[in-house]
Structure 1
């Protein structure tokens, strides 16, 4: 059985995965926002492609497929929200949308790594343990190359084809799910408790329930990078809930106004899947007025106005083709209103106990589509966190002993 696991290639984990939707690195924040609104995907990939120069130098054909094309990062609505929550962006959000999309990308090298489909599964695990959050894998076949190139030429939205190829993400969750199919190889590790395995990390991102949400911006950005979350605790260290990137990714970008004006506890209520309470909407408006954030106030009032809830998506798409793009209007960003089963998340944290088995924690995390589980005591005080990364580290060590 172990030999079978060692023989698996990265391509085995990519079967049926959708092609990445992408933006060029030369796009603006507004372009990214438009693409995120129209996409069913939570994330977009950002690419740096040198088609034209290479094509001109070589007199190339087929749109310069010989040029180098690399994925340089990924972004989601959380990146936009954090960016728009800054003081400068609050004052002039429309100007902020004109900034290059690179302003949204974390300046951390090695987060996105290209790998070949023929790479071994254990090599992919090693890359993740070295800090790669997403592996970019080609899913192109020769027979469909020309057809996809034609689709690229006629596409008006975010493209999926680079150098005639399509690519997919390979994530920590994909690897964990795949390893579950061969979990017997790792016996007796899955049956052991997470505390005896040393899987509980006390280095958590946590904020006080009553502290300003704006003070949690750095923690939110870091949790997105680390694929975890921000714990919200009271003065005694009891876990109240979380500010999760998975939840924020389902929201409109005008949530930036709530981040800038509410407490962490109120922000949890604001972004919960039931929609923001009216009293908190009023609080946000009042505080934007107090801070003289006229630009964001105007956009926030448009977004929260009930009369705009029936605006069609076609008119919104037209508005985004203009350089003077407005922020979201109520009913526009469908994911924040419909909360599909795939995307739904609440501010209620997913928890386990120190004596929970590793197998139970893995299944719990996968069931809730998260890369982590909070660890608490019986009195709900926060102990730490278990992440997919730490689980992969234990499994990789076991595989080393089998090699």
Structure 2
């Protein structure tokens, strides 16, 4: 069994993975925003290659980064852009890319599982893997990267397709063989020494804007920002994962609300009407006309969206599972089933120091996050456990298998 696990290649983890949606590095932030709104994917890959050039080779196709809605929200919150968000959207998408070139790493499909884990431990968040092109009627047509007139991003083309593997993909794969990691998987996260006490926090009553740098850091580290009270008790979180389902108007909320109110704003079902009005009032007080104009369009739709959400919440689970919903703005801005959207809220996912590694793995995967907060019985924050730390434990176990 151990030999079989070690024999797996990266390509084995790519089975069934869809081809990446891609953007050219020369696209604008505005186009990236439109592309993100038109897809169910939370992230879109950014590429340096130009597929209008039909002489490109495999080596010319390089993914230089990834972007999500949180990148745009944080970008619009900056002092240079908050006064004129419309102008800021005309900048090239490259301004959103992480300066860390290791975040997205190309990997050969024949690479072994251990090599992939090493890349993630060394900082890679997404492994870009070439996949076999499937022959379809559409794939035989001449295709190019999306241009500025396109509405939605298209799959990476030019005769080559790629998928990417995330930390979650690798953790899920290892979970299927968790018996091989006995008894290590049953040890507590505390005894394994994988609780990171260096966490990002913001006080519940503090302006949300004071957490902007922390949100940016959390996005880069694939963690979250803990919202705590004066005694260090965990109240909730401001998670980049949750923010990624908002639209660009969340920048107005960050600029005007407290951390506690921002949690309510990004929570399931959309922001309460009183918080919507509070954002509008404060935008007017600060004379943020450009942001106010965009936000006013959003607030005019919120009553319709709220009624739809209320109707869906009163429906049976079966009805929700079989009823695709497309709401125009806010957290439900992309077309997908409502039931898939209510699995994550501003409420933090937590465990205890004595929780087992396998239990924390399952908990994180179930909630589609790459971390779990660790708290004491009184709800004071101890630290955070991340997928990357879990993978370090499994890497050591795999090392012993190879020796």
Give TM-score scaled by structure 1 length: 0.88
Out of 129, 134, 144, the position equivalent to 1:137 is 129
Q: What's the CA shift string for 1:54-78, capped at 9, x where partnerless?
A: x5xxxxxxx2233711100111111
Structure 1 residue aligned with 2:260: 265
Extract unaligned runs of 5+ from structure 2.
Answer: 306-326
What's the counterpart of residue 139 of structure 2? Answer: 148
Change in Cα spacing, 1:339 to 1:211, as seen in structure 2 (3 Å) is farther
Q: Which residue of 1 aligns with 2:297?
A: 302
| Displacement after TM superposition at 1:190 (Å) | 0.9
| Residues matched between the structures, number | 374
Aligned to 1:335: 332
Question: Does the C-alpha gap of structure 1 residues 164 and 146 become closer, same or farther in structure 2, counting only changes over 3 Å?
Answer: farther
Is the contact made by 1:134 and 1:171 (CA closer than 8 Å) also made in structure 2?
A: yes
> Which secondary structure does the structure 1 equivalent of 2:6 belong to?
helix
* Alignment of 1:127 onto 2:119: yes
- Classify 1:307/1:333 alpha carbon distance in 2 versus 1 (closer, same or farther; 3 Å): closer
Deviation at 1:89, TM superposition (A): 2.0
Matched, 1:70 2:62: yes
* Correspondence for 2:313: none
The CA distance in 1 between the partners of 2:139 and 2:221, in whole Å, is 33
> How far off its partner does 1:36 sit?
0.6
Q: Which moved more, 1:71-80 or 1:150-159?
A: 150-159
The 5-angstrom pairing of residues 202-221 of structure 1 reads 202-221=197-216
Please give the TM-score of this superposition, normalised by the length of structure 2. 0.88
2:283 aligned residue (275, 281, 288): 288
Q: Aligned to 2:236, what secondary structure does the other structure show?
A: strand
Q: CA 1:299–1:51 in structure 2 vs 1: closer, same or farther (change >3 Å)?
A: closer
Question: Structure 2 CA distance, aligned partners of 1:367 and 1:151?
Answer: 40
Evaluate the alpha carbon distance shift between residue 333 and residue 144 of structure 1 in structure 2; reply closer, same or farther with a 3 A threshold. Answer: farther
Match for residue 277 of structure 1?
Answer: 272
Q: How far did 1:339 drift?
A: 6.9
- Corresponding residue for 2:251? 256
Correspondence for 2:169: 174
CA–CA separation in structure 1 for the residues paired with 2:365 and 2:81: 36
CA distance in 1, matches of 2:117, 2:399: 12
Query: What CA distance in whole angstroms lies between the structure 1 residues aligned with 2:209 and 2:18?
Result: 35
Distance in 2, matches of 1:154 and 1:391, equals 37
Going from structure 1 to structure 2, the CA distance change for 1:347 and 1:339 (only over 3 Å counts) comes to: farther
Matches within 5 A, 1:310-329: none
CA drift of 1:283 comes to: 1.2
CA gap 1:121/1:221 in 2 versus in 1, 3 angstroms: same
Q: Residues of 1 paired with 2:89 and 2:142: CA distance?
A: 28
Q: Distance in 1 between matches of 2:207 and 2:145?
A: 47
Are the equivalent residues in 2 in contact too, given 1:152–1:161 (CA < 8 A)?
Answer: no
Contact 2:23 2:46 in 1 (8 A): yes
1:383 maps onto 2:382 in alignment: yes
Name whichever of 148-157 and 361-370 sits farther off.
148-157
Q: How many angstroms apart in 1 are the aligned matches of 2:160 and 2:303?
A: 41
User: 167-176 or 341-350, which moves further after superposition?
Assistant: 341-350
Instruction: Please report how far the alpha carbon of residue 163 of structure 1 lies from its aligned counterpart in structure 2 after TM superposition.
Output: 3.6
Q: Aligned-pair distance for 1:149?
A: 5.6
CA distance in structure 2 between the aligned counterparts of 1:113 and 1:105, rounded to whole angstroms: 14
Cα distance in structure 1, aligned partners of 2:196 and 2:290: 42
Indicate if the aligned counterparts of 1:81 and 1:255 stay in contact, CA closer than 8 A: yes
> C-alpha deviations, 1:181-225, integer Å up to 9, x for none?
111221101111111111111011111111111111111111111
1:366 and 2:361 matched? no
Q: Cα RMSD between the aligned structures?
A: 2.1
What residue is the counterpart of 2:2 in the other structure? Answer: 2
- CA–CA distance in structure 2, aligned partners of residues 12 and 287 of structure 1: 52
- 8 Å contact from structure 2 (residues 195, 383) kept in 1: yes
Aligned-partner SS, 1:364: helix
